[in-house]
Amino acid sequence: MKIVVIGATGTIGAPVVEALAARHEVIRASRHGRPAIDIDDPASIAAFYRELGVGSVDAVVCAAGAGRFRPLEELTDEDFAFSFASKLMGQINVVRRGIPHLRDNGSFTLTSGVLAQKPAPGSGAIAPVNAAVEAFARAAALELPRGLRINVVSPPWVRETLQKLGRDPAGGLPAADVARAYVAAVEGRQNGAVIDPAALA
């Protein structure tokens, strides 16, 4: 398969690329990559797909999209607007603009996160974004044409991320285990599923 991974250099995206590249051709995309894409910018998404061409790939994986983590009373209008524009609308637009560029029976795999189901203090903006990504995928799965599929991976805290944050990594799942859920979504037959990598590990 020919597979686009958006967020290819990230903590999650890099092991996803590594796992997929063993069996597939992978196009590594991000804001600073080649090809470049900024999912926060609809014009950048359109330009990215224009360059790829119509019906040119079998799968698009998105392991990118930002949200603001901050105490509820400190979250500003801009924090909410940013989080919804990046992680939610960014991924929705990757799907909306991407449909003509996927070959028949291709797939989209998006990213939500554990905070959708198990919010923590500080997740007032990001928890609803994650939940909405999952709701979008369930709804879109009912309507995608030509056998296209869409699924969401909902990562728990990743061990390497907790390490970077100076927190106890013991409660995190290794990024390589998280990556296996993306591979399962791309290579499997699920549609409209939310995949918990901890359940596969």
Ligand X SMILES: NC(=O)c1ccc[n+]([C@@H]2O[C@H](COP(=O)([O-])OP(=O)(O)OC[C@H]3O[C@@H](n4cnc5c(N)ncnc54)[C@H](OP(=O)(O)O)[C@@H]3O)[C@@H](O)[C@H]2O)c1
Judged by CB under 6 A, the stretch of 73-81, 135-143, 157-165, 180-188 that binds ligand X is 157-165
Q: Of 92, 67, 88, 87, which Cα lies nearest the Cα of 78?
A: 67
- Pick between residue 109 and residue 111 the one whose CB is nearest to ligand X: 111
| CB proximity list for 111: less than 8 A, separation 6 or greater | 7, 12, 62, 63, 64, 65, 87, 91, 133, 152, 153, 154, 155
Q: Which is nearer to ligand X, 85 or 189 (CB)?
A: 85
The one among 33, 35, 119, 169 contacting ligand X by CB under 6 A: 33
Phi/psi of residue 145, nearest 5 degrees: -85, 175
Binding of residue 40 to ligand X (CB under 6 A): yes
Q: Is 152 in the site for ligand X (CB under 6 A)?
A: no
**Binding of ligand X at residue 15 (CB under 6 A)?**
no
- Write the burial class of residue 30 (CB in 10 Å: 0-12 exposed, 13-18 middle, 19+ buried): buried
Tell me the number of residues near ligand X by CB under 6 A.
29
| Longest alpha-carbon distance in the chain | 47
Nearest-approach distance from CB 133 to ligand X, in angstroms: 9
Please, are residues 155 and 178 in contact by the beta-carbon 8 Å criterion?
A: yes
Using CB under 6 A, pick the residue from 3, 39, 89, 141 that binds ligand X. 39
> What single letter denotes the amino acid at residue 8?
A
Q: Does 37 bind ligand X (CB under 6 A)?
A: yes
Instruction: Report how far residue 185's alpha carbon sits from residue 181's, in angstroms, rounded to the nearest whole number.
Output: 6
The site map against ligand X for 113-132 (x = CB under 6 A) is xx------------------
Binding region for ligand X (CB under 6 A): 6-13, 30-33, 37-40, 63-66, 86-87, 111, 113-114, 155, 157-158, 161
